[in-house]
Chains A and B, each alone.
Chain A
Amino acid sequence: MNALRRKLLRDAWRLRGQVSTIALVIACGIAAFTGALSAHDSLLRLRERDYEEGRFAQVFAPLRRAPQRVAAELRTVDGVADVETTVAGRVVVTLPGEPEALSGRVIALPVDGQPPRMNRLSVRMGAFPARDDTAGLVVSEAFATRHALAPGSPLELLIHGRRLGFTVRGIAVSPEFIFAAAGSALGDEARYGIFWVRREVLDGAYDMAGAFNHASLRVPRAQDIPAVIAATDRLLARHGGLGAHAREDQPSHRVLQQEIDEQRVYGALFPAILLAVALFLLHVMVSRHVATERLQVATLKSLGYGTRRIAAHYFGLVLLIILLGGAIGTAGGAWLGSLLTGLYTHYFHFARSGYTLAWQLPASALLATLLAAALATATAIRDIVRLPPAAALRPPVPRLRGRSRLERLAGREGLPPRITMGLRDLTQRPLRTLLTVIGMASAVAILIGGSWWSDAFDHLLHIEFGLRERADVILTLAEPRSPSVLHEAARLPGVLHAEGSRDLPVELRSGNRRLRTGLVGLDEGARLHRVLDADNRPLALQPESIAITAIAARRLGVAPGDLLWVQSLEGAEPARALRVGVVAGNFIGRAAYAPRRLANALAGESSAYNTVRLQVSADRRAALLQAVPLLPGIAASGDTTRLLADFRDTTARNLLVFTGILSAFAAAISVGIVFNSARVALAERAWEFATLRVLGLRRGEVSALLLWQVGLQVACALPLGFVLGRGLAALTAWLIAGDELRIPLVILPTTYAYAAMVTLAAALASALVVRRRIDTLDLIAVLKTRD
């Protein structure tokens, strides 16, 4: 090893505190980047593999009932390569030992006994029911796992009013239900099962012999899809077409896509902040280091070392730090990516699991960091290595320091000299001070940006399930029923109050903008489901007008007073032009609301309901849930209280992991910034501090000079961090806002306090480490050395 390289390693060892804390911040940045993006890539890869191997359809067309020959007509549509039809419907599920009636979807397997050609199941356990096995079924893995179902387990399905007993033959996953619970409001896979049964069973139950009510279309070329959807809608219009849609509107795909997009946002946003902080730290450390190496540079030059060789020597330190950070970051990123992918597989059910980390990810992160670091340190290194040896041998010209504006305010006598020292040290290097404060503030911001979610979700759940949807149990009917259904429901055990609504799928049109969504027809004075304005106050629906959510209004580009064409996707009623009465402030969904009578009119029917909302006495909830399947025409039931509790559990677990990781990042930044700025301040002022000790200042008094300075910077950083954190939260909310979900920007004081505490603790810990060095200053050396 040559002498310069040995010097490099010894320098790195001498500066190990700074080297390791900066490497750690770099590691966090690379880990965040690699972790989030590898999770993104893994999810994408798993999804694409499932879609490909499972031959996931490109277009989906639900309808009321069409004879089988219509399938042949669909096949003739330009761009369609294949059509597969089936019969599907909603079911109420009764499991032995489970008091609650659960919901689900039942789908018929191909009539010829072959596996489906599209949306193929991947059987994980057991097998498909044999051709004549009408009592056997395949159940979705998510539901089976939650209820410990295995081949041989019995269960009952209430299909179109008929209660049928089945035995589980197989457990499977499907590309159509990777997010199995997409059909239920909050993705509650324990309460929403998918069941595949022999076609004959559903032919009988739904009276579908020789007919179908769902078609999947394979459309190989993406550009054909809009035309295929239009043609399919035209063909199915007279068969009760419910609106064909592409993958983008397929429930499971939509949720999965949103999560994948979120990972991309995190993969870009947080690493950028971490990297910026790391570069600043590198810049300060390297500037300070090369400034103290002035004499060495002169010596090396006078020995005959070239400028380039010396510059390379100092860049070597930068390279060492980045490689160290890169190694830790890549390992951390792989761990983080696999952790995130693992978390996702709790509710995304792929045919195969597997986390993959492409080497390009850490490599590109490392390369980007290296380039940025070279830029960040180039000036400092260049200034030193370019000095002629004679100039380098002389001490640097001291900068002329003056009284700052702040001091002038304090009058001629001014502040005590010890305060003045610290203040001038900060104000004489305004850029460094500013960047230090911004760096600390970014730690606070990352903490807020990572932990405000739980505030936002609590708020969201409070609005959606405390103020808007207030039913304890929601019953979905297979077909609309006359108002007498409310009386029947009211007689069920434990029911305190029953309300109904007519929910129907509609297409909203304004100019050439279209939106397919669900319309909820509400009775006047309904209190179990309310329409709320942006300030969460209940809104009254106006007669003969429609209310839509802000998300829907944005998509359609309409405001109150505008006309909107509303076309029911059930039946064949013509579209009606309705005025937009109010815009509702929902965070979830792109729903529309109308007076119930208007909803009935849109569907071309007389007074009817297809959803019943119940307020239930808490102690009789179990009795009610057992009695629900007895209600004629029931298709599904949902218990909002248990749903909410489960949702909170899952979210809490994910948020805990997420907040934990970001807290670690933020702590790394705080430690990195505080330790390094205190260390640099100490290095620059060690001589002053030692002089003060010789003059008689106690250790504590000298430490206070440094800690006071750090404390002042932290004090400035906290409020700035709060503002930046709020901005970061707003930015993430905006970046990941999807069609289904708008995250409310709600940050509670406790979140700010948490961010402040973590930052303060990290700052304090690193300041105390530096303080210990003050205690061991060499007092004798200052008598003989020049600053």
Chain B
Amino acid sequence: MSGNARFEDRTDAGQALAAMLHGRTKPTTDDVVFETQALCRQFGDAGTRVDALRDVGLSILQGEFIVLLGPSGSGKSTLLNILGGLDVPTSGSVRYRGLELSQADEATLTRYRREHVGFVFQFYNLISSLTARENVQLATELVASPMDATSALAMVGLDGRQDHFPSQLSGGEQQRVAIARAIAKRPDCLLCDEPTGALDVQTGRQVLEALARVNRELGTTTVVITHNASIGRMADRVVRLRDGRIEGIDANARKVGASELDW
């Protein structure tokens, strides 16, 4: 890393975030990355209408590690898609640092994803014809001041395997390449859709550790969706969804490390 100073900065930021989350200080507008109000998303027409999201109001703070927890059909993926600019709500508002995403056109959403969002997919979605480094470079080409591909891979512990093709890597390694690809753009937020869904416990822990490290050291706001409750223990807050509504939000007094998780 570029030195302890940065790490310490982030540690300070972490303490400030903890103070806000536990109500000791009040967040300012600058601290809020995402803010949704009365967010609704419906699919189908009158006869076959499904309410995927109902009246969701949520604020996500800068540097926060959020876990969206809920069973299948609870609306967590829909919420993530809307936060990531892949979908737009039927009604309500979703704002990214003052940018109203619900009203944005296709080009604006593409630019938003390109400059501010890093995606991590359940099935990694690596380009099979490109090596690990080339997959990361694919993302670094898109922004003005990206992270060096090698550094991004080093951050997820894969600096020794950068010339391997996806088919030569294990599932966990592939997911870590996907994380390196996502963070190499230096995005403001990392949106992860069931990142350990296709992995065993041991490999899943490694991936989660990489996400935690990125969140901790780079201060990237991280949203992870999962139906695995134990992953919630490593988050700042756990947002529980059911039937398209927020059932509850729990702030963790103490975040545990990925290595302590078990499922």
Contact = CB atoms under 8 A, between A and B. Distances in A.
B121 interface: yes
B130 interface: yes
Interface string A759-784: 00000000000000000000110111
A312 interface: no
A421 B86 contact: no
Given A398-B128, A420-B130, A692 B138 contact: yes
Contact of B141 (A399, A417, A787): A417
A694 B127 contact: no
Interface in B135-150: 135, 137-139, 141-142
Nearest to B136: A417
B193 A783 contact: yes
B77 A783 contact: yes
Contacts of A784: 77, 122, 193
Contacts of B181: 695
A691 B111 CA distance: 15
Contacts of B185: 696
Interface in A657-707: 687-688, 691-699
A691 B125 contact: yes
Contacts of A401: 128-129, 165, 167
A696 B110 contact: yes
A525 interface: no
A592 B193 CA distance: 88
Nearest to B125: A691
A411 interface: no
B188 interface: no
A421 B129 CA distance: 6
A418 B141 contact: yes
A420 B138 CA distance: 10
A772 B249 CA distance: 43
A687 B125 contact: yes
A782 B127 contact: no
Interface stretch (B4-12, B55-63, B112-120): B112-120
A417 B130 contact: yes
B113 A418 contact: no
A451 B36 CA distance: 66
Nearest to A422: B129
Interface residues of A, number: 33
Nearest to A779: B86
Interface residues of B, number: 36
B87 A782 contact: no
B168 interface: yes
A785 interface: yes
A417 B117 contact: no
Contacts of B87: 780
A402 B167 CA distance: 11
B12 to A, nearest CB: 30
B87, B125, B135, B181 — most chain A CB neighbours (10 Å): B125
Contacts of A98: none
B115 A695 contact: no
A48 interface: no
Interface string A413-435: 01011101100110010000000
A697 B128 CA distance: 17
A400 interface: yes
Nearest 5 A-B pairs (CB), nearest first? A696-B114, A424-B129, A691-B125, A696-B113, A417-B134
11 contacts: A398-B166, A400-B167, A401-B167, A417-B127, A417-B134, A688-B128, A691-B125, A694-B125, A697-B110, A780-B81, A783-B81
Given A695-B113, A696-B117, A784-B77, 11 more contacts: A400-B167, A417-B141, A421-B127, A688-B127, A691-B121, A691-B127, A696-B142, A696-B185, A779-B86, A780-B81, A782-B125
